[in-house]
């Protein structure tokens, strides 16, 4: 609406508000009273917030959830994820069976949303602003010496399987290693590493655990947008978790050592999925015993480990590869015997690696190295804890996986081994690729080391840990 200037009793114009009250147009605009609508006045009279009340669904609901400290896996997404879960209450993720592909992590590093800051008063001039922020930055640097001044905080989204062998991640998180190197880690849990790969390829994750399965090699042979960057566990003799279980009938027949695996000809072997570590270890064993792993064994797939244990007891499987501590249930229930370990078939088999998006690796190389530093250092502590049955680390792993502490302690030291330098067993990885390509015919073309790996984060992390370890 157009403004008109009022006249004085003498007929002359009054001095303008702009000239009489303020020095310039911008100051005059700030001095004007704010208009409020009738609804706003009504809310102000009731003492309500100025904004509209949050609705039951939609963006306001999600924002309200974030204000309530439920961000990082809550809001509308959490309700959707909850609807996918089929496990009963208090069932640990390790024993989950159903269609849930991912569910909220028990501890999100960035799950707490701080309250909004108070608006800066307009009376704060530029000089005071600069001096205040400079003092705050200096105080932050003094308060957090663990974050190098040259490093900026970075966010990384990772996929994790809630198993004992994921212990280094749980240890690094519980002991604050990620924060010490300026990383905000968002964890998503998956029932199996294979289920996390589509999320990595789709850009929903920056890194995830990846087993050396046939699907991985097929994807890499066709130009995968990720690289294997870091060790994620191997079958070191005495420390590997994989165990070959045989039914009572097979034990009576003499299937008690790797050189007796020819007895599995025509027998039913239970595995989680074709092309996985279960099939690799048993397939390699029967091949060395003179059988054709493609045609001489009846592979039964599609069962989770707890159901594989039951299948052995029900006479529906003659043998299987089951990790400890679940393997203990075979003998406890008198379903069969744990006849030998996975490392008895092939010592130092690489179980998995960390796969990272090439886009993230190129844009955040420093963050990738810092992640490798935290994981490698935590892996060293994890190895020592497995040997000593450290109660502190057992508690950390139990809280993350919901596996009872006595079972974790009973499985020690066979928790899975992590190499001190953070690098995977490259030859084992390539051997698995050849097995899927040449023996099982599950991979269409061979894969080179250059296609599969970028170990620069692991190498740089190991060098930095040797020079100056920020974790003490």
**N-terminal to C-terminal alpha carbon distance within the chain:** 68
Taken in order 296, 300, 301, 306, the sign of the CA dihedral is negative
Would you give the distance in Å from CA 303 to the centre of its chain?
Answer: 23
CA dihedral angle for residue 315, residue 318, residue 323, residue 326, rounded to 10 degrees: 20
pLDDT tens column, 408-435: 999 999 999 999 999 999 999 999 999 9
- DSSP assignment of 298-330: EEE----HHHHHHHHHTTS-SEEEEETTTTHHH
Average pLDDT, the chain: 78
Please tell me whether residue 332 adopts helix, strand or coil conformation.
Answer: helix
Using CA atoms, how far apart are residues 180 and 159, in angstroms rounded to an integer? 21
Tell me if 240 sits within 8 A of 342, measured CB to CB: yes
CB 242 within 8 A of CB 277: yes
Please state the separation of Cα 222 from the chain's center in Å.
25
CATH code: domain 242-344 is: 3.40.190.10
pLDDT of residue 250: 98
Going residue by residue through the chain, which has 472 residues, state the pLDDT in tens, using 9 for 90 and above. 444 454 444 444 444 444 444 455 444 454 455 444 444 444 444 444 333 333 333 333 333 333 333 333 333 333 333 333 334 434 444 433 332 333 333 333 333 333 333 333 333 343 443 444 444 444 433 443 344 445 689 999 999 999 999 999 999 999 999 999 999 999 999 988 888 999 999 999 999 999 999 999 999 999 999 999 999 999 999 999 999 999 999 999 999 999 999 999 999 999 998 999 999 999 999 999 999 999 999 999 999 999 999 999 999 999 999 999 999 999 999 999 999 999 999 999 999 999 999 999 999 999 999 999 999 999 999 999 999 999 999 999 999 999 999 999 999 999 999 999 999 999 999 999 999 999 999 999 999 999 999 999 999 999 999 999 999 8
- Please tell me the distance from the alpha carbon of residue 178 to that of residue 161, in angstroms, as a whole number: 18
pLDDT digits (tens, 9 = 90+) for 230-264: 999 999 999 999 999 999 999 999 999 999 999 99
Q: How far apart are CA 4 and CA 182, in angstroms?
A: 59
Alpha helices in 144-246 (DSSP H): 167-174, 177-180, 193-201, 214-221
What is the predicted pLDDT for the residue at 102? 33
Question: What's the rounded Cα separation, in Å, for the pair 275 and 322?
Answer: 16
Stretch (H or E) spanning 253: helix 248-253
The pLDDT assigned to 241 comes to 96
CA distance 464 to 350: 24
- Helices 391-401 and 167-174 pack at an angle, to 10 degrees, of 100
Whether the CB-CB separation of 180 and 147 falls below 8 Å is answered with yes
Q: What is the pLDDT of residue 32?
A: 52
- Cα 361 from Cα 359, distance rounded (Å): 5
Output the pLDDT for position 84. Answer: 32
The CA-atom distances, in angstroms, between 80 and each of 76, 83, 85, 158, 189 are: 6, 5, 9, 20, 15
Task: Return left, alpha or beta for 106; rule: phi > 0 is left, psi -120 to 50 is alpha, else beta.
Answer: alpha
Return the closest-CA partner of residue 432 out of 189, 220, 230, 262.
220
Domains 154-234+349-466 and 242-344 share a fold: yes
Q: Is the distance from CB of 390 to CB of 344 less than 8 angstroms?
A: no
Cα–Cα dist 329/309, whole Å: 7
Asked if residue 73 lies in contact with residue 149, where contact means CB atoms within 8 angstroms, the answer is no
CATH fit for domain 154-234+349-466, picks 3.20.20.70, 3.40.190.10, 3.10.620.30, 3.40.605.10: 3.40.190.10
pLDDT at position 195: 85
pLDDT of residue 24: 54
CA distances to 3, 13, 28, 32, 274 from 7, rounded to whole Å, are 13, 5, 20, 21, 91
pLDDT at position 293, please? 97
Q: Where are the domains of the chain?
A: 154-234+349-466, 242-344
Other Cβ atoms less than 10 A from the Cβ of 325: the count is 22
């Amino acid at each position: 609406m157009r403004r008109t200037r009022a006249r004085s009793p003498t007929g002359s114009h009054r001095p303008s508000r702009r000239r009489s009250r303020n020095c310039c147009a911008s100051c005059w605009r700030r001095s004007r009273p704010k208009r409020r609508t009738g609804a706003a006045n009504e809310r102000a009279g009731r003492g309500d917030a100025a904004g509209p009340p949050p609705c039951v669904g939609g963006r306001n609901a999600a924002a309200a959830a974030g204000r309530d400290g439920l961000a990082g896996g809550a809001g509308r997404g959490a309700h959707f994820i909850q609807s996918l879960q089929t496990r009963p209450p208090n069932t640990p993720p390790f024993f989950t069976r159903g269609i849930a592909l991912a569910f909220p992590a028990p501890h999100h590093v960035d799950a707490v949303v701080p309250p909004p800051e108070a608006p800066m008063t307009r009376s704060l001039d530029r000089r005071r602003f600069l001096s205040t922020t400079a003092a705050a930055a200096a105080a932050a640097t003094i308060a957090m010496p663990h974050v190098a001044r040259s490093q900026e905080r970075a966010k990384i989204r990772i996929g994790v399987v809630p198993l004992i062998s994921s212990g280094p991640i749980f240890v690094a998180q519980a002991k604050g290693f990620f924060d010490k190197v300026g990383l905000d880690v968002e964890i998503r849990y998956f029932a199996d590493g294979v289920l996390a790969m589509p999320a990595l390829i789709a850009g929903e994750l920056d890194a995830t655990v990846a087993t050396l399965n046939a699907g991985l090699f097929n994807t890499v042979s066709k130009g995968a947008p990720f690289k294997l960057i870091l060790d994620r566990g191997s079958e070191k003799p005495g420390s590997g978790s994989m165990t070959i279980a045989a039914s009572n009938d097979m034990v009576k027949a003499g299937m008690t050592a790797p050189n007796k695996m020819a007895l599995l000809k025509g027998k039913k072997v239970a595995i989680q999925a074709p092309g996985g570590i279960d099939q690799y270890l048993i397939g390699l064993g029967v091949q060395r015993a003179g059988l054709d792993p493609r045609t001489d064994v009846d592979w039964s797939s599609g069962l989770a480990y707890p159901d594989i244990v039951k299948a052995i007891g029900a006479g529906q499987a003659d043998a299987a590869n089951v990790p400890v501590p679940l393997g203990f249930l075979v003998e406890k229930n008198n379903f069969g015997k744990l006849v030998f370990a996975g490392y008895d078939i092939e010592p130092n088999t690489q179980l998995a690696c960390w796969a990272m998006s090439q886009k993230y690796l190129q844009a955040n190389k420093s963050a990738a190295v810092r992640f490798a530093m935290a994981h490698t250092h935590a892996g060293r502590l994890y190895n020592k804890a497995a040997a000593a049955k450290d109660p502190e680390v057992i508690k950390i792993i139990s809280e993350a996986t919901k596996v009872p502490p006595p079972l974790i302690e009973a499985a020690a030291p066979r928790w899975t081994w992590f190499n001190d330098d953070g690098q995977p067993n490259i030859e084992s990885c390539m051997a698995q690729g050849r097995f899927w390509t040449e023996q099982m015919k599950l991979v269409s073309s061979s894969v080179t080391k250059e296609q599969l790996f970028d170990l620069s984060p692991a190498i740089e992390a190991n060098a930095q840990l040797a020079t100056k370890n920020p974790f003490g």
